[in-house]
Amino acid sequence: MKNIASKTLIVAVCVLLGIIISIQYKTVNDVVGPDSIPSQKNKELVNELARLEEEKEGLMNELTNLENKIKKYESEASKESDYIKELSEELEKYRMFSGYEEVEGPGVEIVINEPEINDEYAHSSSIVENYDYLLDIISYLNVTGSEAISINDLRYTSYSEMLIAGEHINFNNKPIGAPIKIKAIGPSDDIESALRISGGIINLMESYGFQIEIKKHDKLTIPRYTEIKELKYAKPISDDEE
């Protein structure tokens, strides 16, 4: 009888421990989620990301220093030759066109805030869900003669990418979200008139509750494009191939 009672007690204890463990497991899942990264691993990933960002910043500073040296050499060489001066000016122009040069000039700043949360605008409360509106605004800016554009201080170029990544937008491999600040250097009056046209993109966004402000500036600064791109497939056509 004692053996039976002991075995029964052991079974009861095991069942009780199993229930306790399952409750603890369910509680952890409810709090942190079943797919959460352990805290230590999460810290390691955050530290690695910070290290890579710091390394990238250091390389960008080194690149800027080298570019400044090249510009200095070009300036000195230009003083000795009109031909080199002309080439340097052409090179500077193409750098500006491609977005690899920080620029300044008159233009507009468009600030976009999301609608206040309520039932009326519940279906369109996030700029992430409607990021195509940003592409429409860029199209308006290009049509009206904008010469340089940035979104949240990231340069927009023909190489720029804009994709949904979870709860934010990835632009030039950087996460961005509201408020969205778009800057454009160009004819500010023409840009504002085009954006504010009846039935246009700004009208549409405001009808869905987006709060938009357009400010004209005598001088805006737009940063350079910082990603390095290399052509893998395209190459210039030589005279021999014609």
Provide the 10 A C-beta neighbour count for residue 30: 9
Average pLDDT, the chain: 77
pLDDT tens column, 22-59: 555 555 555 455 555 556 666 777 777 677 677 666 76
pLDDT tens column, 145-177: 999 999 999 999 988 888 888 778 889 888 888
**Domains contained in the chain, number:** 2
Residue 110 CA to residue 108 CA, distance in Å, equals 7
Is 118 inside a domain boundary?
Answer: yes
Is 22 inside a domain boundary?
Answer: no
Is the same domain home to 150 and 68? no
pLDDT-derived band of residue 17, with 50, 70 and 90 as boundaries? low
What's the 3-state SS for the chain?
CHHHHHHHHHHHHHHHHHHHHHHHHHHHHHHHCCCCCCHHHHHHHHHHHHHHHHHHHHHHHHHHHHHHHHHHHHHHHHHHCHHHHHHHHHHHHHHHHHCCCCEEEEEEEEEEECCCCCHHHHHHCCCCCCCHHHHHHHHHHHHCCCCEEEECCEEECCCCCEEEECCEEEECCEEECCCEEEEEECCHHHHHHHHCCCCCHHHHHHHCCCEEEEEEEEEEEECCCCCCCCCCCCCCCCHHHC
- CATH, residue 155: 3.30.70.1880
Task: Give mean pLDDT, residues 113-120.
Answer: 72
Is the same domain home to 86 and 197? no
Task: Give mean pLDDT, residues 214-229.
Answer: 89
Is the same domain home to 53 and 108? no
Residue 236 CA to residue 58 CA, distance in Å, equals 33
Is 147 inside a domain boundary?
Answer: yes
Is 32 inside a domain boundary?
Answer: no
pLDDT value for 21:
56
Token pair listed for 164:
């949904």
Is the same domain home to 218 and 159? yes
Is the same domain home to 132 and 64? no
pLDDT-derived band of residue 202, with 50, 70 and 90 as boundaries? very high
pLDDT tens column, 55-103: 666 766 666 666 666 666 666 666 667 766 777 777 777 777 777 888 9
Provide the 10 A C-beta neighbour count for residue 110: 22
What strands lie across the sheet with 162-165, from one edge to the other? 162-165, 168-171, 174-176
Is the same domain home to 158 and 73? no
Domain that holds residue 108: 102-222
pLDDT at 214 over 60: yes
Residue 178 CA to residue 181 CA, distance in Å, equals 8
Is 170 inside a domain boundary?
Answer: yes
Is the same domain home to 126 and 174? yes
Is the same domain home to 116 and 179? yes
pLDDT at 7 over 50: no
Token pair listed for 172:
């030039």
Reported residue count of the chain is 242
Is 231 inside a domain boundary?
Answer: no
| Torsion angle defined by CA atoms of residues 97, 103, 109 and 110, in that order, rounded to the nearest 10 degrees | 40
Is 131 inside a domain boundary?
Answer: yes
Is the same domain home to 72 and 149? no
Is 16 inside a domain boundary?
Answer: no
Is the same domain home to 92 and 112? no
**For residue 34, cis peptide bond before it (omega within 30 degrees of 0):** no
Is the same domain home to 179 and 114? yes
pLDDT at 227 over 90: no
Is the same domain home to 62 and 149? no
